[in-house]
Amino acid sequence: MQAPRRPGRWASLPSPNVREAASMYGTAVAVFLVILVAALQGSAPPESPLPYRVPLDPQGTLELSWNVSYVQEVVHFQLLVRTLRAGVLFGMSDRGELENADLVVLWTDGDGAYFADAWSDGQGRVHLDSRQDYQLLRAQSTPDGLALLFKRPFSTCDPKDYLIEDGTVHLVYAFLEEPFRSPEAINTSGLQGGLQRVQLLKPEVPEPALPPDTRTLEVRAPDVLIPGQETTYWCHIAELPQGFGRHHIVMYEPVVSEGNEALVHHMEVFQCSAEFESFPHFSGPCDSKMKPQRLNYCRHVLAAWALGAKAFYYPEEAGLAFGGPGSSRFLRLEVHYHNPLKMEGRRDSSGIRLHYTATLRRFDAGIMELGLVYTPVMAIPPGEMAFVLTGYCTDKCTQLALPPSGIRIFASQLHTHLTGRKVLTVLARDGREREIVNRDNHYSPHFQEIRMLKKEVTVYPGDVLITSCTYNTEDRTLATVGGFGILEEMCVNYVHYYPQTQLELCKSAVDAGSLQKYFHLVNRFNSEDVCTCPQASVPQQFASVPWNSFSRDVLRALYGFAPISMHCNKSSAVRFQGEWDLQPLPEITSTLLEPAPQCPASQAQSPAGPTVVSISGGKG
Amino acid sequence: MQAPRRPGRWASLPSPNVREAASMYGTAVAVFLVILVAALQGSAPPESPLPYRVPLDPQGTLELSWNVSYVQEVVHFQLLVRTLRAGVLFGMSDRGELENADLVVLWTDGDGAYFADAWSDGQGRVHLDSRQDYQLLRAQSTPDGLALLFKRPFSTCDPKDYLIEDGTVHLVYAFLEEPFRSPEAINTSGLQGGLQRVQLLKPEVPEPALPPDTRTLEVRAPDVLIPGQETTYWCHIAELPQGFGRHHIVMYEPVVSEGNEALVHHMEVFQCSAEFESFPHFSGPCDSKMKPQRLNYCRHVLAAWALGAKAFYYPEEAGLAFGGPGSSRFLRLEVHYHNPLKMEGRRDSSGIRLHYTATLRRFDAGIMELGLVYTPVMAIPPGEMAFVLTGYCTDKCTQLALPPSGIRIFASQLHTHLTGRKVLTVLARDGREREIVNRDNHYSPHFQEIRMLKKEVTVYPGDVLITSCTYNTEDRTLATVGGFGILEEMCVNYVHYYPQTQLELCKSAVDAGSLQKYFHLVNRFNSEDVCTCPQASVPQQFASVPWNSFSRDVLRALYGFAPISMHCNKSSAVRFQGEWDLQPLPEITSTLLEPAPQCPASQAQSPAGPTVVSISGGKG
């Protein structure tokens, strides 16, 4: 049971009480002081602490901490409100909109204060949920602000509720500046709010012990003056000492300068290519004209961190090799500063701390690229809400390249360009889908973490890996073709695995000859001129396709039927021996069902309406 | 509250009690005697009576009565078990299978008796539901047998539960012959059971008063000896009196011979064509070689009834004209006897009682045919689980043929041949879907009723009516083309409306020239030989298509894109004036969302597990 309130503590909050606030309706300075749960639930605080934490808004007024219980399939949230006005909205939505969001609302009508499970419709109107699946457990005033503790099951079976699943979750928030009679009086479109992306369902992987000879290396920005603009990618070249031998990275973690927690969005450390003896030192925006061209050869990922992520531990048996002969001494740090308030004068020295050992572990870890070849033959028609492209790593390639005992995938980083919305990699064996390697139904190109898998996936020779990406091209008028450009697209899953093999790339693209048949066919049907002459490039041909439901549907049919060209490569240029063109599409006879969400058994405790929270003044 | 049990009544049941049954485990004669609800719910019997009733099994051992509350969105069921052995399964499933069914189970473990909400998986294994959404209200021994009263919401939001919606519901049942320790020990595949199709959500349309001069005419089978075979369609010609004037049918109802309630599956009365002076009298199986050819000209539906349906009332302002000049005096009655037990020697005089008036109502009712033209250009590839074909009644046709004040559709009869699985008609205006005219997500070609709409739909000039049928051709190896044959397909919605107009047919088919382009295109892509020469018929061309995902997907793309040919006809042969070929497909910019099922608010009353039902012996 919770402790009775101790008025002495609340007095420290320098704010008028909520009854006064009622008389100030219309002004924007209403502040809750003390909120006590009408203690129906009798739930104690969660047994375990809340290990994960992110700031929600750029000022850090709202901060979310949480933990995950996979046994109960419940998330405990603690929302810390450092400065409370007349209330707060917090929740989740498909892609971070405040419309069509699943929300908790903390509001006052001037007299009482209430907590409720609600949702917003497509117009931003807020509605109470018929089932109250967010349960308030505790409301506590702390020296840092008001802390609301509540929980929610992953899945509620209420179609108005967001399904909490693996991958990216778009958290949304907004501030209420005045009392509302009821949540139905609120419209999110008039509120100040925003979004924050996190991986809510963090994996529960035990942290392996670090070897006793572990040393650390910090790759950090050199006291950067963060530009007063929304988006900056900062590039900084670091250098390993001369003669630095071969080591295994066994863990890495973020080092974020204090106070900049809401500004540092993500960071990556890349190793430069060994084909150049040295790289120029540079520290500046990555898109600067001053940036030396050669830095484009620093693309081999060593470490990647994004907001909300904690330390990344390699499995006990494996480490990521760096240093030593055949590897470059030069590293590129890239830091993404997200500064929507365009604050000036902030300095930052954030970076990544690599933990490495000279006592090499049993296995080198490797990184393999799955998905689509970077080629324009794979294209997305314009105006599509959810067009899917699929890349294959075929049985023939895994048969040739993987050891009989297989490889173990332990982490994965999904990658698309701007129109990517979902990514999924599935493992199939003997024509049947068996296991999901990684899936993100709310993928955002602005949030690319290396994610530990909840369970390692073993891939044996003869297995097939199928990577599908879903794109949204509603705002485009021409086809989006595959390629390296930011306005072109990719569909990639970088899987981290051990033991390392020679296979670096296992990707596919549609057979180019079949695509030419497609252009012919569209010409014939639409009596229009897509040039099918040899001098027209594929992007030119795609640009002249008259897009309508027929040319779109037939392109989709082509991708689902035509033979493929495989890249089964040792490095980006060297193929394994064999015939890789005109390969048949893997035949899949049984697909994995979407897991039906588990409905929690009727919860006698969950209230049918809002929870009344009793408020007492700060002066008592 | 229910009355305390009165042992005297139970004594009338001539059966051993369930405790004895326990010792007879393994034999199949266990019988429950008295079952009293562990009275947690405190629910009284439903306020209103149970107006709808069907026998479930051919012997009539199980009989279901029910009512519907649209306000509470709940169905009350009463299952009458005339002879109870060790238990009963009852429930609903997509198409009448006992696998993947939503079930209630009444079972005994030898000691106690239990009632629970359960479901069966794809292998027929029975599982308890995590949420108990079927609620037992009363278990009562009656002179006719054991009557179990229970209720269930239309929608439970439990993905394991069947969603009760408009249209056909496949009820399933099975008998337990021995005690089971738990429902999990039951597998439906070993049980004797079956299915019954009903429209569960009957419309709540008030019955208009009949005019005082209403007279009746019974069109009945002439003491037919029901053949000892599973399926018989009986044809019988009846004749109106000479000089029978023009009347309005205002109501009709079934007349089913007592004892044959489980055998008479459906009945229809057709009016013969006026183009022939007279029709030969005939009474015999419709597929008899003795049946006169001319009876094929008796196809104009006057009345249709199917199992579970009650009387059909025309709207107050309208009646269906029959008799008088220009209409035939000959009627054809068709009775479908469903006799799976192949009982011999049963006699039957069932039929339909027409209620008609000479005082003509303000409006003649009309029947209009929506959907697809009966032509082979509309085809379904083989091996498809759910292929959709769509027929249009275009704005151009309704603009021309409907009065400015529109027509009101009040009833609808859906029609396909054997592979039809779903039918839907939607009304669109200004490119936006507005209203569902009729929908059946569990349509069966074996259950074609005329159904009153829950709400009349007004169609104005310029509106579009879109009728889609979903087909399952998994058991076919060649394409299924449109046509009259039983192995060909149709997609039709006969809508009943008033005031009558000249428009009898408003249907479409894909433009034949575009289909030829399709055959060319498939040839080019597959390098195979679909004859595109003029002498090949469309069915021949379809028969030579090499079916694969590409030819299937491109056919679907064609149907979704190519121009259409309209039949906007006064009668089956006479078109309205205008250009009806090469019409554009109606453009629909916004579709109706699937209505999200309403989840009932947390029901504190619903038990989390089986309801224990206390059993007392019959000897007490």
Count Cβ atoms within 10 A of the Cβ of residue A291 and give its class: 0-12 exposed, 13-18 middle, 19 or more buried.
Answer: middle
Longest CA–CA separation in chain B, Å: 85
Which residue is closest to A595 within chain B, CA to CA? B159
Instruction: Give the CA count within 13 Å in the CB-facing half-sphere of A187.
Output: 5
**Nearest alpha carbon to residue A399 among A591, A589, A566:** A566
| Beta-carbon separation of B524 and A525 below 8 A | no
Q: What is the pLDDT of residue B595?
A: 61
**Which alpha helices (H) appear in B310-425, and where do they start and end?**
395-401
ipTM above threshold 0.90: no
Q: Is B2 on the interface with A (CB under 8 A)?
A: no
Tell whether the model's pLDDT for residue A14 goes beyond 60: no
**How far is A480 from A470, CA to CA, in rounded Å?**
13
Which residue is closest to B133 within chain A, CA to CA? A602
What does the pLDDT look like over B41-77, one tens digit per residue?
334 445 568 999 999 998 889 999 999 999 999 999 9
Across the range B454-460, mean pLDDT stands at 96
Tell whether the model's pLDDT for residue B27 goes beyond 70: no
Consecutive H or E run containing A318 = strand A318-322
CB B61 within 8 A of CB B144: no
Q: Is B160 on the interface with A (CB under 8 A)?
A: yes
CB A437 within 8 A of CB A453: yes
What does the pLDDT look like over B564-596, one tens digit per residue?
999 999 876 688 999 999 999 999 999 997 666
What does the pLDDT look like over B209-242, one tens digit per residue?
899 999 999 999 999 999 999 889 999 999 999 9
What does the pLDDT look like over A75-88, one tens digit per residue?
999 999 998 889 99
What does the pLDDT look like over A599-619, one tens digit per residue?
555 444 445 566 655 332 333
Q: What is the pLDDT of residue A132?
A: 84
> Which of A121, A602, A611 is the best residue to mutate to test the B interface, defined by the most B CB atoms within 10 Å of its own CB?
A602
What does the pLDDT look like over A221-251, one tens digit per residue?
999 999 999 889 999 999 999 999 999 999 9
Instruction: Give the CA count within 13 Å in the CB-facing half-sphere of A378.
Output: 31
Instruction: Give the CA count within 13 Å in the CB-facing half-sphere of B523.
Output: 15
Q: What is the pLDDT of residue B39?
A: 33
Residues of chain B contacting residue A596, judged by C-beta atoms under 8 Å apart: 159-160
**How far is B320 from B305, CA to CA, in rounded Å?**
16
Q: What is the pLDDT of residue B499?
A: 97
* Single pTM value for the model: 0.82
Which backbone phi and psi does A10 adopt, to 5 degrees? Answer: -65, -25
Q: Which residue among B157, B557, B603 sits closest to A599, beta carbon to beta carbon?
A: B157
E-strand ranges in B489-589 read 492-498, 505-510, 564-569
| Beta-carbon separation of B608 and A596 below 8 A | no
Q: Which chain A residues in 512-551 lie under 8 Å from chain B, judged by CB atoms?
A: 517, 520-521, 524-525, 548-550
Peptide bond before residue B595 is cis, with ω within 30 degrees of 0:
no
Tell whether the model's pLDDT for residue A311 goes beyond 60: yes
Q: Is A602 on the interface with B (CB under 8 A)?
A: yes
| Beta-carbon separation of B558 and A549 below 8 A | no
